[in-house]
């Protein structure tokens, strides 16, 4: 069995995902066969991992997909055995080892955890069969002791699998001394003994100014410090998983093309926009509820949704439908991806109540199509070709529902000789079920050119690889990586 080390946070969004990715890349560069693992993840940003011997694939968190890339290996359903995808009034969809297991409200899910721990440990065992090292990412914080009795994400897993833990504190949000020392104070003795040290993340300025802080934490906890990680700009190039990050992307420097993206309540796979954000001439603005879609946007992208009908109703409540109509009158372009594609049609029907109690909702009417939600879920990686620009595409599909209508006779792409998506008669509006299309460099360049913008010729996947290398080097410079690896067991 492989050795392992686990990173747990003093809270959510402390940077565990990027730290694990960076440590995975650092371990890979040292010649180790390293794998990422997150027992339980909650996110609507999912990726597709191929399942050997099966047609199609399984869902894992987008973060574990990124961490697998950092390890230089193909993503596996065993890297994230339990994925919770929040929906609307039906709670969360529970995905176990890549497949939909069911739906559960928060209280019901707590009762399911004992059963799910078996799947977690099964995936853990399988992942360790072909690895030297596993770097585990926790979820939220072990200090949530009210959840400890049935925990499978943090100390519940660490104690069962006997994995040592490094605690991560985020100094950027303030109160890091209290959060680290407070975690030490309230953890049960058995859980406290699992922690072999801590590190401080997202420091700005002169690191030596925190020397007294480290001394204070050491005095309160007795834990060694593995280092202080300064803020690194390269981390922003990596796909983000949690929608909390969107609150920091609501405005930016004015550029040649403004892309407006409504922040849907159940927004999914918003990292589809990351390749556009990387373009120097493109400003991507995520528009929160209550704010108007900017009138100076040249492009509106309606992203994926885990609850299409609920988000469609909220779209109208926010008045974004009127903003979108005005955008079209000005000659603006619109792209819908997955759930956003479904919203662009005349109607979305849910006769089986898959998403909730509302069985039908009027669409935005920009495409002459209709969508019917169906129980069977499409989950697969795909290679395709753009119909609009005759360029190769590579991405993935994760969706419920089938879409048809006259505008589907003008598809957006061809996937395995099958048409995908739809386009308006004037070519200004199109939708697709395919995630990841903006990551295709040739397509992105041609698409921007059609909007009068010259792309920068970015090799987006290459940029992600370079960012991972930079993060690994950054961690090697500011953490005692030798000591972290030595702590694994």
- The residue among 478, 20, 473 whose CA lies nearest residue 207 is 478
Confidence of residue 244 (pLDDT cuts 50, 70, 90): very low
Picking from 198, 88, 77, 224, the residue whose alpha carbon sits closest to that of residue 141 is 198
Q: How confident is the model at residue 445 (pLDDT cuts 50, 70, 90)?
A: very high
What value does the mean pLDDT of the chain take?
94
Residue 64 — very low, low, confident or very high, per pLDDT cuts 50/70/90? very high
pLDDT at 468: 97
Q: What are the phi and psi torsion angles at 275 (to 5°)?
A: -60, -35
- The gap from C-alpha 135 to its chain's centroid, in whole angstroms, comes to 18
Q: Are 345 and 403 in contact (CB under 8 A)?
A: yes
Confidence tier at 331 by pLDDT (50, 70, 90): very high
Share above pLDDT 70 across residues of the chain, in percent, rounded to a whole number: 96
Residue 281 · residue 453 · CB < 8 Å: yes
Q: What angle do CA 224, 225, 226 make, to 5 degrees?
A: 115
Predicted local distance difference test score (pLDDT) of residue 236: 76
Rg of the chain taking only CA atoms, in angstroms: 23
pLDDT band at 461 (very low <50, low <70, confident <90, very high): very high
d(CA 386, CA 225): 51
Query: What is the side-by-side order of every strand in the sheet holding 195-203?
Result: 34-37, 133-137, 3-9, 165-170, 195-203, 225-230
- Section 125-135 average pLDDT: 97
164-193 average pLDDT score:
97
The single-letter DSSP state of residue 30 is: T
**What's the 3-state SS for 62-130?**
HHHHHHHHHHCCCCCHHHCCEEEEECCCCCEEEEECCEEEEEECHHHHHHHHHHHHHHHHHHHHHHHCC
- Does position 106 have pLDDT exceeding 60, yes or no? yes
Which residue is associated with the tokens 């009908």? 309
pLDDT surpassing 80 at residue 245: no
pLDDT score of 252: 55
Nearest-angstrom CA–CA distance, 445 and 286: 22
Q: How confident is the model at residue 350 (pLDDT cuts 50, 70, 90)?
A: very high
Q: Which position among 71, 225, 338, 408 bears the catalytic label?
A: 338
3 state SS of 441: helix
User: Residue 160: how many CA atoms within 13 Å on its side-chain side?
Assistant: 20
For tokens 């371990």, name the residue: 27
pLDDT top residue among 427 and 234 = 427
Burial readout 225-258 (b: 16 or more C-beta within 10 A, e: otherwise): bbbbbbebebbbbbbbbbbeebeebeeeeeeebb
Residue 251 has pLDDT above 70, yes or no: no
State the residue for tokens 């998506």. Answer: 421
Show Cβ contacts of residue 252 under 8 Å, excluding neighbours closer than 6 positions: 283, 284, 285
Per-residue pLDDT, 242 = 54
Please name the residue ranges forming H helices in 330-459: 339-343, 441-450
Give the per-residue pLDDT at 315: 98
Q: What is the pLDDT of residues 298-308, one digit of tens each?
A: 999 999 999 99
C-alpha span between 305 and 19 (Å, rounded) = 28
Region 308-335 average pLDDT: 98
Residue 237 DSSP symbol: G
pLDDT level of residue 318 (50, 70, 90 thresholds): very high
Query: Quick one: angle between helices 308-317 and 320-329, nearest 10?
Result: 80
Tell me how far apart the alpha carbons of residues 25 and 67 are, in angstroms, rounded to a whole number. 8
Q: Is pLDDT at 358 greater than 60 in this prediction?
A: yes
Instruction: Among 5-9, 52-56, 204-208, 290-294, name the one with the lowest average pLDDT.
Output: 52-56
Q: State the Cα–Cα distance between residues 311 and 206, nearest whole angstrom.
A: 44
For residue 248, pLDDT over 50 is answered with no
Q: Of residues 184, 327, 435, 478, which has the active-site annotation?
A: 435
Span 174-186, average pLDDT: 97
Contact at 8 Å (CB) between 241 and 61? yes
Average pLDDT over residues 132-145: 97
Residue 434 has pLDDT above 70, yes or no: yes
Q: Pick the residue with more confidence: 419 or 92?
A: 419
- Alpha-helical regions (H) of 151-299: 155-161, 176-186, 189-192, 211-221, 274-277
Provide the whole-model pTM: 0.93
184 an active-site residue?
A: no
76: exposed, middle or buried (Cβ count in 10 Å: 0-12, 13-18, 19+)? buried
Q: Return the pLDDT at 139.
A: 96
> How sure is the predictor about 88, in pLDDT bands with cuts at 50, 70 and 90?
low
Neighbours of 147 (CB within 10 A): 18
Domains, the chain, in order of start with CATH, read: 3-236+466-487 (3.40.50.300), 257-452 (3.40.50.880)
Least confident of 103-117, 356-370, 392-406: 103-117
Give me 266's structure tokens: 């159940």
Band (460; pLDDT cuts 50, 70, 90): very high
Q: How far apart are CA 272 and CA 178, in angstroms?
A: 37
């Amino acid at each position: 069995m492989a050795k392992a080390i686990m990173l747990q946070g003093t809270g959510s969004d402390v940077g565990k995902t990027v730290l694990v990715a960076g440590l995975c890349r650092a371990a890979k560069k040292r010649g180790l066969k390293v794998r990422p693992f997150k027992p339980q993840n909650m996110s609507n940003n999912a990726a597709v991992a191929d399942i050997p011997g099966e047609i199609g694939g399984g869902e894992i968190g987008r973060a574990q997909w990124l961490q697998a890339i950092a390890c230089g290996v193909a993503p596996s359903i065993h890297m994230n055995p339990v994925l919770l995808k929040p929906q609307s009034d039906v709670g969360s969809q529970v995905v176990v080892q890549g497949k939909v297991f069911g739906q559960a409200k928060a209280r019901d899910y707590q009762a399911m955890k004992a059963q799910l721990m078996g799947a977690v440990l099964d995936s853990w065992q399988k992942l360790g069969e072909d690895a030297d090292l596993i770097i585990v990412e926790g979820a939220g914080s072990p200090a949530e002791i009210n959840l400890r009795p049935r925990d499978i994400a943090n100390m519940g897993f660490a104690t069962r699998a006997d994995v040592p833990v490094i605690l991560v504190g985020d100094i950027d949000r303030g109160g890091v001394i209290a959060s680290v020392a407070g975690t030490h104070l309230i953890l049960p003795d058995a859980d406290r003994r699992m922690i072999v040290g801590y590190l401080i993340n997202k420091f700005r300025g002169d690191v030596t100014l925190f020397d007294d802080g480290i001394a204070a934490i050491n005095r309160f906890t007795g834990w060694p410090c593995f280092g202080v990680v300064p803020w690194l700009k390269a981390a922003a190039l990596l796909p983000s998983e949690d929608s909390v990050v969107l609150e920091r992307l609501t405005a930016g420097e004015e550029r040649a093309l403004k892309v407006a993206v409504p922040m849907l309540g159940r927004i999914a796979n918003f990292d589809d926009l990351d390749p556009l954000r990387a373009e120097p001439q493109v400003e991507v603005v995520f528009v929160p509820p209550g704010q108007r879609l900017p009138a100076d946007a040249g492009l509106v992208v309606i992203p994926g949704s885990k609850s299409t009908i609920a988000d469609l109703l909220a779209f109208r409540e926010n008045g974004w439908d009127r903003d979108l109509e005005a955008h079209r009158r000005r000659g603006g372009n619109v792209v819908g991806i997955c759930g956003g594609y479904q919203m662009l049609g005349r109607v979305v029907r849910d006769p089986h109540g898959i998403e909730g109690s509302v069985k039908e909702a009027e669409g935005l009417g920009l495409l002459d199509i209709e969508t019917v939600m169906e129980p069977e879920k499409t989950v697969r990686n795909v290679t395709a070709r753009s119909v609009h620009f005759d360029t190769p595409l590579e991405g993935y599909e994760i969706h419920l529902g089938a879409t048809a209508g006259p505008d589907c006779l003008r598809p957006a792409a061809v996937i395995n000789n099958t048409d995908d998506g739809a386009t308006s008669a004037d070519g200004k509006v199109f939708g697709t079920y395919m995630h990841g299309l903006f990551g295709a460099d040739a397509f992105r360049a041609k698409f921007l050119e059609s909007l009068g913008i010259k792309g920068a010729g970015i090799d987006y996947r290459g940029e992600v690889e370079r960012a991972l290398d930079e993060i690994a080097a950054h961690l090697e410079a500011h953490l005692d990586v030798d000591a972290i690896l030595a702590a694994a067991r």
